[in-house]
Amino acid sequence: MTLPTLFLSHGAPTTAIAKTPASAFLRSLGSIVGRPKALLVVSAHWEEREAALGLGTDTIHDFYGFPQALYRMSYPAPAAVETAARATALLADAGIAARTDTARGRDHGAWVPLILAWPDATIPVTQLSLIGGADPARHFAIGQALAPLRDEGVLIVGSGSATHNLRARPTPAPAEWASRFVDWLDRTLDAGDDAALLDWQRAAPHAEINHPTSEHFDPIFVARGAAAGQKATQLHASWEFGSLSMNAYAFGE
């Protein structure tokens, strides 16, 4: 069976303990998707000069000033060693340099959605870095190279944010500039217009204010690249903090 790929908006670290529509959705995700053989997670919070597959199992609390309960949380799922090796080989076959990092643990972009969706932490996990400063086409190509994993029981998850401007908390909410961007994203994905998606900084309304930096949007290109040409389905839609879209999408059946 060919698995879909996912793009999830992981929100603030407090998503892990919150009672919001988005956290409720993430708690239901395991029942929606089932139990893959392994998870490959691309988080907005890990960028390197080249693609890296993380095999560390430590839970990284990469945030400050949050409730103490978050700092006591851990997600000790085993490392997906075979999946990381297979991903490295697939990327090499596509001419994309990649390495493994046995020390790097899991940042909150990875463990927050996983601890909600698969709280037993028994599915092996590897985290794939973004390439800092890479254009969307490069991340899309990484996804294309990794597409065979979908037939091998590996769920590819891009974890970022449909919008990400934490300085703007408008009232009333959601902000018009944020809702217009998300409306564009929904239409673009529904139409399968990958050319427009890759050109989002020019094609989308208010792109710069929604994503002053691109790292929280970049994971969508890996997820979409691995399921290029296949149907996009919106799994969830909600808003937090006035301008933070928590939308989630699946690509493929």
For the chain, which residues make up each domain, given as ranges? Answer: 5-251
User: CATH for 5-251?
Assistant: 3.40.830.10
Q: What is the pLDDT of residue 25?
A: 98
Q: Which residue has the higher pLDDT, 20 or 169?
A: 20
Q: How far apart, in Å, are the Cα atoms of 3 and each of 34, 64, 123?
A: 10, 36, 15
Confidence of residue 129 (pLDDT cuts 50, 70, 90): very high
pLDDT tens-digit readout, 206-219: 999 999 999 999 99
- DSSP code of 103? S
Q: For the chain, give the percent of residues with pLDDT over 70.
A: 98
User: Rounded CA gap, 244 and 216, in Å?
Assistant: 11
* Segment among 222-226, 230-234, 240-244 with least mean pLDDT: 240-244
pLDDT tens-digit readout, 24-70: 999 999 999 999 999 999 999 999 999 999 999 999 999 999 999 99
Q: What is the pLDDT of residue 170?
A: 67
pTM across the whole model: 0.97
pLDDT tens-digit readout, 135-191: 999 999 999 999 999 999 999 999 999 999 987 766 667 999 999 999 999 999 999
